Structure 1
Amino acid sequence: MKIVTGLIEINRQGVVRVLAKNLADETVLYIKTKKAHWHVEGADFYDKHKFFELQFKQLDEIMDSVAERIRSIGHYAPATLKSYLNLTHLTESESEKNDSQGFIKELLADHERIIMDLRGHIKSFTDDFHDAGSSDFITSLMITHEKMAWFLRSHLTK
């Protein structure tokens, strides 16, 4: 069925290319946060176990919203681990220690990477792709990641 929303196909494709990479980043960050939830050890185990659970639940909602945005503009979202690993800007973690400070620093760096990537696309979504809706959408995602990063940062010792 033809999509009539005021966006031409070439612009939808441009937006989807960015959103697909974001979905890959969100998925990798979700997995890394899940790992932190499962593997964290130390005197602060229970507190950080619960904290990481809150964060991965937020990321699950984000992943769903990104995939639904892709679908709402007429494309299919990538949905395989192989595609996510090919698209992501993030790297998998291989830390030797399972301490909360290490997990938090790594997760914080990933949130900041996503924030910078999203910020870099806000203007182009409006100016280049003429898609103010997707621009607003990624602005909202960026704000969510800024808050999640703040929460992570607040757990770091100086």
Structure 2
Amino acid sequence: MAKKNESSVSINIGINDKDRKKIADGLSRLLADTYTLYLKTHNFHWNVTGPMFNTLHLMFETQYTELALAVDLIAERIRALGYPAPGTYKEYARLSSIAETEGVPNAEEMIRLLVEGQEAVTRTARSIFPTVDAASDEPSADLLTQRMQTHEKNAWMLRSLLQK
């Protein structure tokens, strides 16, 4: 019988409690990374200047909008597994692998920092995959695959802007 988490109704979706907890913990790290990257990207959207202003302003808007949608999908998957989704700056600061950026970097540094952030989210998603795969958690695997595909593409597009 499945262990009860926060409600009186047990969860029996074919993934044992221990694996659901490990997956939810991994997805919580992914959520923290995604939200932290969202904030960084939105900040850079507001504050970018220079000759590439229009290009970067629009690109950053596209990326932060996608990230805003992604945090909801990740949080809802954590909930479907029976665990609360983290939702505070304090939790995100503890869970995220992405450092905050102080001040306002120049446009080229913004791009470099966002490449690092996109790649960090990809690494976090990839690190969860073995647990998800071993538990035959196809919905989480699908979510992780989509996230990795999006972040790898965004990193490539940003990295291309740094080519001389």
TM-score (norm 1): 0.91
Unmatched segments (≥5 aa) in structure 1:
none
Which residue type is aligned with residue 51 of structure 1?
Answer: M
Mapped contact 1:11–1:130 kept (Cα < 8 A)? no
Instruction: Specify every segment of 5 or more residues in structure 2 that has no aligned partner in the other structure, as ranges.
Output: 1-8
User: How many residues of Structure 1 are paired with residues of Structure 2 in the alignment?
Assistant: 156
Aligned match for 1:149, one of 132, 151, 155? 155
Q: Partner of 1:109 in structure 2?
A: 116
Whole-angstrom CA distance in 1 between matches of 2:104 and 2:143:
37
CA shift, 1:95, in A, is 4.9
Write out the 4+ residue segments of structure 1 that deviate beyond 3 Å after TM superposition.
none
1:3 positional shift:
1.9
* Cα contact 2:23–2:131 (8 A) shared by 1: no
> CA offsets, 1:59-107, max 9 Å, x none?
101111100111111111001111111111110012553x221101001
Q: CA deviation at 1:7?
A: 1.2
RMSD: 1.4
Q: 2:37 aligned with 1:29, yes or no?
A: yes
State the identity as a percent. 36
Contact 1:3 1:74 in 2 (8 A): yes
Q: Any residues of structure 2 matched to 1:80-91 within 5 Å, and which?
A: 80-91=88-99
Tell me the SS of whatever aligns to 2:50.
Answer: coil
